């Protein structure tokens, strides 16, 4: 995954919630742009949880993102990636 694609989804107007799928099988839901940040040059992101849970944030290496699943994307299975 390239950080440019992630930024495109993060800054879409109107914003649509999305799920980040990782190479290890985990998924992280981003309900609002306030819950995600790109760090430094864009190799790392931080995703926080909108509900109290442990852990409350996740530090993710962008190259480990396998897919972005945007809510309301085309139903033919072609999500943004």
Residue in this structure with the two tokens 């992280």, named with its chain if needed: 28
Q: What is the token pair recorded at 64?
A: 């480990």
The domain spans of the chain are 3-70
pLDDT in tens, 45-55: 999 987 777 77
Quickly list DSSP for 8-45: HHHT-SS---EEEEETTS-EEEESSGGGEEEETTTTEE
Alpha helix positions (H), 1-81: 3-10
Q: Is 25 helix (H, G, I), strand (E, B) or coil?
A: coil
Q: Which CATH architecture has domain 3-70?
A: Roll (2.30)
Phi/psi at 7 (5° precision): -60, -40
Provide the pLDDT for residue 55: 74
pLDDT in tens, 37-78: 999 999 999 999 877 777 789 999 999 999 999 998 655 444
pTM above 0.75, yes or no: yes
């Amino acid at each position: 995954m390239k950080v440019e694609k992630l930024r495109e989804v993060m800054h879409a107007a109107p914003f649509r919630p999305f799920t980040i799928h990782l190479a290890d099988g985990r998924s992280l839901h981003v309900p609002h742009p306030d819950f995600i940040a790109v760090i430094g040059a864009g190799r790392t992101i931080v995703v926080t949880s909108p509900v109290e849970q442990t852990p409350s944030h996740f530090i993710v290496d962008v190259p480990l993102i396998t897919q972005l699943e945007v809510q309301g994307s085309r139903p033919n299975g072609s999500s943004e990636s």
